[in-house]
C-alpha cells in the first residue's frame, strides 16, 4: 500500500522526518513556511487525512495530550518504519514527472484580446507585488533556517524558490513591458466596434 501513497502523504511524512513531534496545525504552519514555495501547501483537512492514513500504515504514531492540558491536542511523530519508507521513496526516481505550471495571470493575459489593456496591466502589476511579497517570505524563512543543521536540505529548496520567485518578478515586469508595447484593441463584437 505504501507504493500507492500520494505525494501529499510523503510530504506530510517528510515534515515529520525532522526532529520533534508536531500537531497537525504545526505541520500546516511548516508546510506554509516551506513546501508552498516549491510544491504546494496541503489544506489542514488533507494533512489530518494523511496523518490518519500514515498512522494506519504504522509510519507515524500519535499521542493525545493529557487532561491537565487546557485544550487537548494530538501530536505526531515518525516511526522507524515510516522513516525507512520515506527514505526509499525519497531515494527513488519513480513518478517524478514534469513540473506542472498553472499560472492564472498568464491565462488571463493569453485571453487578453477579450479584456481591456489597463485591466491586464493591473492584474500583472498585482501579480508582481504579490510575488515580491512571497519572495520576502522565502527570504525570511531562509533567515530562520540559517545555521540549523537539520534544515540544510530544506534551505537548498528554499534557495531554489528564492531564485524562481526573483525570476518570476523579472518575467512579470517584462510582461508589463510587452503589454505596454501591444496595441489595445476592443474585444470582438464589442459595442465600440462599428
| Global confidence as pTM | 0.78
DSSP-derived secondary structure for 97-153: -------HHHHHHHTGGGS-HHHHHHHHHHHHHHHHHHHHHHHHHHHHHTT-GGGHH
Quote the CA–CA distance of 61 and 52 in Å, as a whole number.
10
Between CA 127 and CA 133, with CA 129 as vertex, the angle to 5 degrees is: 110
Tell me the three cell numbers of residue 168.
Answer: 518570476
Tell me the three cell numbers of residue 3.
Answer: 507504493
pLDDT averaged per 10 residues, the chain (length 194): 81 93 94 88 94 97 77 90 94 76 92 92 97 96 90 93 97 96 62 47
Quote the CA–CA distance of 19 and 3 in Å, as a whole number.
25
Amino acid at each position: 500500500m505504501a507504493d500507492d501513497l500520494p505525494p501529499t502523504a510523503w510530504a506530510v511524512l517528510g515534515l515529520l522526518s525532522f526532529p520533534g513531534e508536531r500537531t497537525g496545525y504545526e505541520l500546516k504552519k511548516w508546510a506554509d513556511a516551506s513546501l508552498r514555495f516549491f510544491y504546494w501547501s496541503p489544506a489542514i483537512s488533507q494533512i489530518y487525512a494523511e496523518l490518519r492514513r500514515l498512522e494506519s500504515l504504522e509510519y507515524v504514531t500519535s499521542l493525545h495530550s493529557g487532561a491537565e492540558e487546557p485544550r487537548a491536542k494530538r501530536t505526531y511523530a515518525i516511526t522507524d518504519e515510516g522513516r525507512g519508507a520515506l527514505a526509499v521513496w525519497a531515494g527513488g526516481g519513480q513518478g517524478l514527472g514534469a513540473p506542472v505550471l498553472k499560472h492564472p495571470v498568464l491565462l488571463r493575459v493569453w485571453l487578453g484580446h477579450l479584456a481591456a489593456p489597463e485591466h491586464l496591466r493591473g492584474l500583472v502589476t498585482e501579480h508582481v507585488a504579490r510575488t515580491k511579497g512571497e519572495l520576502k517570505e522565502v527570504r525570511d524563512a531562509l533567515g530562520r533556517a540559517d545555521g540549523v543543521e537539520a534544515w540544510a536540505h530544506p534551505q537548498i529548496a528554499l534557495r531554489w524558490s528564492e531564485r524562481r520567485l526573483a525570476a518570476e518578478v523579472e518575467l512579470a515586469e517584462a510582461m508589463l513591458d510587452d503589454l505596454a508595447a501591444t496595441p489595445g484593441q476592443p474585444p470582438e463584437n464589442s459595442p465600440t466596434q462599428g
